Chains A and B, each alone.
Chain A
Amino acid sequence: MTATSAPRRAPTNWTAPAMQARVAVRYRRERLFRLAGLGALCLAGLFLAFLLFTIVRTGWSGFRHSEVAVSVVFDAQALGIDPAVARGPGGVEAIRRADFNALMQRSAAAQLGPAADVVSEGAWLDLRAAVLADRGVLGQTRTLWVPVRSNIDLLAKGKFDENEAEVTRGVSNEDIADYHYLEARGLIRTDFNEIFVSAANSTDPELAGIWGAALGSLLTLLVTIGAAFPVGVLAAVWLEEFAGRSRWTDFVEVSISNLAAVPSIIFGLLGLAVFLNFFNMPRSAPIVGGLTLALMTLPVIVITARAAIRAVPGSVRDAALGIGASPFQVVVHHVLPLALPGIMTGTIIGMARALGETAPLLLIGMRAFVADAPKGLTSSATVLPVQIFLWSDDAQRGFVEKTSAAIMVLLVILLLMSSVAIYLRNRFENRA
């Protein structure tokens, strides 16, 4: 069948014009391919830069707020606090009972004249905090910088166009007049917004903070990683190292792959049905949110962990088995350490996704208005993305900058998480 004497080919002429043309085409294609790649990269970078720029531009001012100077006479009698009691063991109770709100109103009315109502409704908290920090202020007069209402704050930051008609401007003529009155007297200043970084949610933009949501996210993620990581890794180890192949494991494998593709809101429904309705766990709690997100993250961890375990060369297993290591020792001493970088990468990706997840948490009640930072895994809480969603939905102008500022916080946390992931991965890879 084979040709015994194929005609001898002429030697290839590497310098013929046709050959030269082919070389030129090859170079051109290569150049085009590189340019296309570079272009795609630039485009992606541009989008990212644009996104970051707009967020930082609007969000930056969320980390600053305006305060007005009010000097307050801390008259113990008017406050109804006995200075002796205040210094004693029941002092905190007594101070908490006192009516600082009235004191604030009186002081503002006395000193700010026509602009007395610029003071925020929560400004009295600063007065109480001053007394709680130092009982010595009782009976003295102190000048405090207290937060102003959101509209005044926005005026101070130049967020309103004062020449616009009053109806469309979003801020009343009185507020503008008040602001100029204070500004002319040097009674208003803008500085770092400690309320934003230390408080929980509030209906007043100037009193709302991100700390509650950040803590909620942290607690929720702790539960998620605590539940999903060990379960996911154990499941992956079992499936890869011990299960063998059977109809049943095939079924499990297909189910897990499908679970990874299920929309997250379905996991919210699952969490609602299982944790809230069946186990009667508390609504809006980090424990429920964390477990719900763990259900969502579990397939991702199982799949990446299996891939990482499978990537461990079989020769390492043979070597260990060959000198009499038990299957358990093979896994613990050799397979897992080698697979760990891959497993951790997968876990961090899963966690990052969980950190940004909103939909399933809405279903289990984490969209509730929570005015205090969570105190534990079972107290009511919200999380960063839900907080962002809630604020972005709020009609008050003051929440616009808070929304972007919250996004900045979320992005920074994500960045920190992936840096930790990269650091850990490098460390473990070098060790192996």
Chain B
Amino acid sequence: MTEPCPKLSARNLNVFYGAKQAIKNVSIDISREHVTALIGPSGCGKSTFLRCFNRMNDTIENARVTGEIRLDGRDIHAADMDVVQLRARVGMVFQKPNPFPKSIYENVAYGPRIHGLASGRAEMDRLVEDALRRAGLWDEVRDRLADSGTTLSGGQQQRLCIARAIAVDPEVILMDEPCSALDPVATAKIEELIDDLRGRYAIVIVTHNMQQAARVSQRTAFFHMGAMIEYGETSTLFTNPVQARTKDYITGRYG
């Protein structure tokens, strides 16, 4: 964590839902080379925290964010920051697969189209194929690109959502429990995919699955009741946690 300028950094971040505080004074640096895992008990604020980085909390009516978040050193709440472009640069994969009720092709092509990333049909075809290949879905859907994205299985839908996110070539990918609805085989595929994507994108992943965090991430942050209790190298955090609460949680003694 000794980069000159981390990909993402938060300083004294607080999030309130009405009067209720969901995130309490969190500061963190997220590196561009690593996969960063966020773990913690349900309701501790992991999703809320993740949504701060692409300002999706803006869309929640009673949510209020204070503190500072920087992407490549630039304040994302600054007046000259275009939130629409920010969300293209910081992609998100949601907890529940949410493909558009449109064709598989259209699902992937939509992002590049609205951002004007492809000129002409051929380039778009290539872009779509490339994104689907990287998401490990191409071989399963190459013959049915015109079918609706909602006809895919849950795991395929989630990979479609990942393809959709990487099709706009973001710099960061935020994943909110991407495997929570998937069976072990589909989970393994997505973990493999995360491994492949590492290095190319900064990845932040929320997970309830301790083994998953240990498998895919190099950095782990443990959250508890809105506060970040501990943050460090995944291997150390899981084998030798500093805080007692972290230890209780990862050994299953929590709650």
Contacts and interface: CB of A to CB of B under 8 A. Distances in A.
Contacts of B161: 319
Contact of A338 (B59, B96, B101, B168): B101
B85 interface: yes
A324 B94 contact: no
A319 B94 contact: yes
A315 B98 contact: yes
Given A323-B110, A326-B84, A318 B168 contact: no
B100 interface: yes
Nearest to A315: B98
A323 B164 contact: yes
Given A244-B61, A315-B96, A324 B56 contact: no
A333 interface: yes
A243 to B, nearest CB: 11
Given A325-B84, A325-B114, A315 B94 contact: yes
Interface in B95-132: 96, 98-101, 110-111, 114-115
Interface residues of A, number: 20
A326 B82 CA distance: 10
Nearest to B96: A315
Interface in B58-72: 59, 61
A321 B54 CA distance: 10
A244 B87 CA distance: 21
Interface residues of B, number: 27
A316 interface: yes
Given A315-B98, A329-B114, A321 B61 contact: no
Interface string A325-364: 1100100011000100000000000000000000000000
B94 A323 contact: no
Contacts of A322: 54, 56, 87, 91-92, 94, 165
A245 interface: yes
Given A324-B87, A326-B84, A333-B110, A319 B56 contact: no
Given A315-B94, A318-B59, A318-B94, A323 B100 contact: no
A318 B88 CA distance: 13
Nearest to A334: B100
Contacts of B92: 322-323
Contacts of B168: 323-324
A334 B164 CA distance: 15
B100 A319 contact: yes
A315 B93 CA distance: 11
A46 interface: no
B101 A318 contact: no
Given A324-B88, A333-B110, A316 B164 contact: no
A320 interface: yes
B243 to A, nearest CB: 33
A316 B111 contact: no
A316 B101 contact: yes
A44 interface: no
A416 interface: no
A432 interface: yes
A159 to B, nearest CB: 59
Contacts of B101: 316, 338, 432
Given A318-B59, A319-B161, A329-B114, A324 B98 contact: no
Most chain B CB atoms below 10 A, which of A319, A324, A326, A432 = A324
A318 B98 contact: yes
Contact of B99 (A319, A324, A326): A319
A245 B88 contact: no
Contact of A323 (B59, B61, B91): B91
Contacts of B100: 316, 319-320, 334
A170 B100 CA distance: 70
A319 B168 CA distance: 13
Contacts of B91: 322-323
Nearest to B97: A315
Interface string A140-152: 0000000000000
Contacts of B115: 324
A95 B243 CA distance: 107
Given A315-B96, A316-B101, A338-B101, A321 B110 contact: no
Nearest to B111: A323
A238 B99 CA distance: 25
Contacts of B59: 317-318, 321
B114 A324 contact: yes
Nearest to B107: A319
A318 B89 CA distance: 15
A321 B98 contact: no
A12 to B, nearest CB: 36
Contacts of A320: 100, 110
A181 B222 CA distance: 107
A329 B114 CA distance: 8
A10 B238 CA distance: 50
Contact of A316 (B61, B84, B98): B98
18 contacts: A315-B98, A316-B100, A318-B59, A318-B98, A319-B100, A319-B161, A320-B100, A322-B87, A322-B91, A323-B92, A323-B164, A324-B85, A324-B89, A324-B115, A325-B114, A329-B114, A333-B110, A432-B101
Given A319-B98, A323-B165, 20 more contacts: A245-B61, A318-B94, A318-B98, A319-B94, A320-B110, A321-B59, A321-B87, A322-B56, A322-B92, A322-B165, A323-B91, A323-B92, A323-B164, A323-B167, A323-B168, A324-B88, A324-B89, A324-B114, A329-B114, A333-B114
- List the 6 closest A-B pairs by CB distance, nearest first: A324-B88, A315-B98, A323-B111, A322-B92, A324-B87, A319-B98
